[in-house]
Structure 1
Amino acid sequence: MTAPTTLSAKDVADKLDTDAKTLRVFLRAASIPKDEATNRYVFTAKDLPKLKKQFKEWREARIATTANHPMQNEEPAAARIAGHELSGAQHAYAAEHLIEEARSRKTSVSKLPNTIIHNVIEDALLEADDSDMSK
């Protein structure tokens, strides 16, 4: 009988629709042991169903935790709008709306598509223009 074919962490990450770095964070959080001989994570196809279930539960819990703590989203929000010429009020408006958008999509600000970022920045600029006209 032949030994089962092993899968690398990258192979497993691909199967779980994530990247290798996120998978390693999950594996450490779930206390999944490394192979003692190689000090690497080693999996077989037989391991995938259980890993998929555990990873899905971990990711959902992580998203819920992040969405409930706005401070965790403020720094990525600031980074995503850095480099745009926004006043302090426009910057605050854009950051707040990016955080709200990430919460509604149950994701992190850093994973929002660029189109969303640009739309929020345009809204922030328009909001400022509207408030200037009302004076």
Structure 2
Amino acid sequence: MTEAKTKELTDENTKISLEEEALHFKVESLVSIKAYLEAKLKFTEEGRRHVEHMAFEAQLLKMMAKNARRRVEEKLNVYEQMAFTKHKQLAEVMAELAKFKEQLASLEAPTCADPKEGGGVV
């Protein structure tokens, strides 16, 4: 082979080597990009699942709060009814007490037979 042919083949070999190296670098870059995108997708999916879980928990807490509020309102109604009943009973007892005081006062009023109170035989 001639020297020109050898140089041409060497140049062709070098060119092929450089192209092969460039392709290898591109493949490595694409593999890295693919790994990055897969990791980002996984992170995004985990984030989406986390957000869905948080939304579910928020809905659950909202329902629990609604139920707790309903129970508190029911207890409040019961206590209000009890207070009304107790107030009514207290009013009845106070009225009865007032009657007893009137009766007691009428029993303690001076009689004509009591000489100390100015009654009795003159």
Would you say same fold, with TM above 0.5?
no
- Give the structure with higher Rg (CA): 2
TM-score (norm 2): 0.28
Q: Which has the higher contact order (CA 8 A, sep 6+)?
A: 1
TM-score (norm 1): 0.26
More helix by share: 2
